[in-house]
């Protein structure tokens, strides 16, 4: 198995009302609507897969879960930055399908149907506190932290055992549109998360 590592930021928007219970229940509590549909974007600030540099690339994800996250039977798809070399594309596909083990290895256990990995133009932008993701014509999203009494501080759930990372900024989607793999979703106003990530594998 190749060693790999990713540091950067992840945003996610799902169909839950604010705030998604999976973060603190670690997938044991049902999503607020009984099922989970989500899109996600990953900005890789620094990273490698084996000796292949994957720094500066972006990844989009589509996730469809029929019940509580921990029960599995997920369907998932990955969109890989079309700027990636063939080697980087293969490495990122292994990471986000769970085959590279490590932090994302749970996908290998929980995803019963990996729909596809395909190249797409992906932009991940930050403007103030807003994060925007565009994945071709498949995903268009914008998330923003929810306001707290101190406008200079985000509302954060800290020290969790959540797989993405221990500190999750609670956010909400201003835009959350998906049109891919027969799914047409709009999660505007629904739950969102922002998380600094520090992932690695295969151990």
Could you read off the pLDDT of 62-82 as tens digits, one per residue? 999 999 988 999 999 999 999
The band of 26, judged by pLDDT with boundaries at 50, 70 and 90, is: confident
Q: Which two tokens stand for residue 135?
A: 């994945």
Percent of the chain with pLDDT over 90: 94
Could you read off the pLDDT of 102-139 as tens digits, one per residue?
999 999 999 999 999 999 999 999 999 999 999 999 99
- What distance in Å separates the CA atoms of residue 49 and residue 89, rounded to the nearest whole number? 10
Give the chain's mean pLDDT.
Answer: 96
Model confidence at 28: pLDDT above 90: no
CA end-to-end span of the chain: 10
pTM tops 0.85: yes
- What distance in Å separates the CA atoms of residue 127 and residue 105, rounded to the nearest whole number? 32
């Amino acid at each position: 198995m190749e060693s790999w590592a990713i540091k950067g930021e992840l945003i996610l928007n799902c169909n839950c009302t604010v705030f998604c219970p999976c973060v603190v229940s670690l997938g044991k509590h049902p999503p607020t609507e009984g099922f989970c549909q989500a899109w996600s974007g990953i900005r890789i600030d620094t990273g490698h897969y084996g000796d292949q540099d994957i720094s500066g690339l972006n990844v989009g994800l589509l996730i469809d879960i029929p019940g509580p996250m921990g029960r599995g039977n997920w369907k998932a798809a990955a969109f890989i930055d079309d700027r990636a070399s063939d080697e980087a594309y293969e490495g990122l596909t292994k990471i986000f399908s769970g085959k590279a083990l490590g932090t994302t290895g749970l996908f290998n256990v929980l995803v019963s149907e990996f729909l596809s990995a395909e190249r797409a133009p992906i932009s991940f932008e930050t403007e103030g506190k807003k994060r925007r993701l565009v994945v071709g014509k498949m995903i268009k999203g914008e998330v923003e932290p929810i306001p707290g009494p101190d406008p200079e501080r985000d509302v954060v759930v800290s020290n969790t055992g959540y797989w993405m990372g221990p500190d999750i900024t609670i956010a909400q989607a201003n835009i959350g549109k998906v049109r891919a793999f027969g799914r047409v979703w709009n999660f505007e106003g629904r739950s969102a998360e922002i998380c600094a990530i520090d992932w690695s594998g295969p151990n």
